[in-house]
């Protein structure tokens, strides 16, 4: 949850023009997971959550 929150804060600040750019040093989603079992602390896809919220809250159309 902390990784998602950090990426959301960074994404919203960049999208709002508060900062020019940023780089989130967070672990990729599911890097502890087995083929059919979630493991470790990576249950959320931070990038997908951030992209979806930017589209919903700030009407951002395109996301790289």
Count of domains forming the chain: 1
Task: Give me the pLDDT at residue 40, please.
Answer: 67
In a domain, 16, yes or no: yes
Question: With contact defined as beta carbons under 8 Å apart, do 44 and 1 qualify?
Answer: yes
pLDDT at 2 exceeding the cut of 90: no
**Between residues 21 and 47, the one the model is more confident about:** 21
In a domain, 64, yes or no: no
Domain span at residue 10? 1-58
In a domain, 63, yes or no: no
Task: Give me the pLDDT at residue 36, please.
Answer: 72
Q: Which residues are catalytic?
A: 32
Q: DSSP letters of 2-40?
A: HHHHHHHHHHHHHHTTSSS------PPTTTT--SS---T
DSSP state of 48: H
The predicted-structure confidence for 22-63, as pLDDT tens digits, reads as follows 999 987 765 666 767 766 666 777 888 899 999 999 988 888
């Amino acid at each position: 949850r902390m990784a998602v929150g950090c990426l959301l804060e960074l994404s919203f600040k960049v999208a709002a023009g508060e900062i020019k750019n940023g780089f989130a040093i967070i672990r990729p989603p599911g890097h502890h997971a087995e083929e059919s079992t979630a493991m470790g602390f990576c249950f959320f896809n931070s990038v997908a959550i951030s992209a979806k919220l930017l589209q919903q809250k700030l009407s951002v159309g395109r996301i790289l």
